[in-house]
Amino acid sequence: MVNMGKPIPMCVELLKAIQANTGIECFDFTNSQPILNLVTSHVSNGSLDCSNNKGLFVNLPDQVHCYFMTESPHLEGIMVSTISFTLASQLPQVISVLRQQVAFNTLLGSCIRVGSKPGNS
């Protein structure tokens, strides 16, 4: 079992790939939400929600960027704190999937700034 310590947003499609690899169905997808909302809420500690379509503002020294997140049926996610596996040979693929998700979360998280609005420095 891989224990992340703190739950992280994970894409349902990636979790299904883990389940296919391990043969263990241990995730409950009934309460899935758009992964973009989960990551935004997670990174901002619940203070931001991208479902309001107001955009995520990133203030740079000489300009302001605004990112609008779009939803897709293939971008649903859930919060995950543990991933089960039975064989050590399954671990490399589990870690590969986790790396993909963490890279996505980090990239999206770099655009999330609590309190950022147009023109604020």
Residue that is written with structure tokens 């990551």 in the block: 39
% pLDDT > 70, the chain = 88
Is the pLDDT confidence value at 88 over 70?
yes
Q: What is the pLDDT of residues 32-42, one digit of tens each?
A: 998 888 988 88
Domain ranges of the chain: 2-109
Between 92 and 112, residue with greater pLDDT: 92
Q: What is the pLDDT of residues 45-69, one digit of tens each?
A: 877 766 665 677 788 888 888 877 7
Task: List, in order, residues 6 or more apart from 11 with CB less than 8 Å away.
Answer: 35, 75, 76, 77, 101, 104
Rounded to an integer, what distance in angstroms lies between the CA atom of residue 90 and that of residue 9?
21
Determine the average pLDDT of the residues in 15-29: 92
